[in-house]
């Protein structure tokens, strides 16, 4: 089995190869989109996915507190 890489662009859901002559007459394809439409994530969706993670904590202060627990080791 051999693979051929073909460069293409996607416009409105249709794939346009940069060099149509490089395509075989028939075959199966696997499409990997390298660059997608730039969009901002929805903050509410992200917050719901975080679950138990508390984003209101100061990470630096939290780390210092956790590490200070080890300072009293013998």
Its domain, for residue 57, covers: 8-34+41-68
Q: Strands (DSSP E) along the chain, which ranges? A: 8-11, 14-17
Predicted local confidence at residue 55, as pLDDT: 67
Per the domain annotation, does 51 fall within a domain?
yes
Within-domain flag for 74:
no
Give per-10-residue mean pLDDT for the chain (74 aa).
Answer: 82 87 84 78 81 77 88 74
What contacts 67, CB < 8 A, 6 or more positions away?
none
Is 48 inside a domain boundary?
yes
């Amino acid at each position: 089995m051999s693979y051929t890489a073909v460069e293409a662009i996607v416009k409105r859901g249709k794939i346009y190869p940069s060099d149509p002559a490089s395509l075989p007459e028939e075959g199966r394809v696997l499409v990997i989109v390298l660059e997608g439409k730039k969009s901002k994530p929805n903050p509410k969706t992200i917050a719901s996915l975080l679950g138990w993670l508390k984003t209101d904590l100061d990470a630096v202060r939290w780390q210092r507190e956790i590490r200070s627990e080890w300072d009293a080791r013998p």
